[in-house]
């Protein structure tokens, strides 16, 4: 399954990129598993997702939780808690 992942703020800095396209491995069916896979993939992922409880998620523009399923998703955004205003 091809998927676009976008990163923001310090997640973007630690990943070293704002966006990438990935082939999601079989068995990675929700955002939590995706984050675990990115964490195990390389040192950048390990740094960016060292504290998964601080990661927020939007799938195709909708804010969701780490348990959200990936089925049908085109773009997953991963980012820290927001600090607007």
Two tokens at 70? 């990936």
Which positions from 6 through 25 interact with another protein, judged by CB under 8 A? 6, 8-10, 12
Q: Which residues pair with 21 in a beta bridge?
A: 4
Nearest distance from C-beta of residue 2 to another protein, angstroms = 20
Q: Using an 8 Å Cβ cutoff, are 49 and 39 in contact? A: yes
Q: Please give the Cα distance from 50 to 27 (Å, whole number).
A: 21
Among 2, 27, 61, 72, binds another protein (CB under 8 A): 61
Q: Is 37 in the site for another protein (CB under 8 A)?
A: no
Nearest distance from C-beta of residue 19 to another protein, angstroms = 11
Nearer to another protein, 20 or 25 (CB): 20
Q: Please give the Cα distance from 40 to 4 (Å, whole number).
A: 18
Q: Using an 8 Å Cβ cutoff, are 23 and 2 in contact? A: yes
List contacts with another protein (CB under 8 A): 6, 8-10, 12, 58, 61, 63, 77, 79-85
């Amino acid at each position: 399954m091809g998927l676009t992942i976008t990163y923001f703020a310090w997640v973007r800095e630690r990943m070293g990129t704002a966006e990438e396209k990935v082939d999601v491995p079989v068995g990675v069916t929700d955002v939590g598993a995706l984050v675990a896979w990115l964490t195990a993939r390389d040192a950048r992922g390990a740094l960016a997702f060292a504290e998964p409880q601080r990661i927020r998620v939007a799938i195709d523009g909708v804010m969701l939780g780490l348990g959200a399923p990936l089925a049908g998703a085109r773009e997953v955004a991963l980012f820290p808690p927001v600090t607007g205003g």
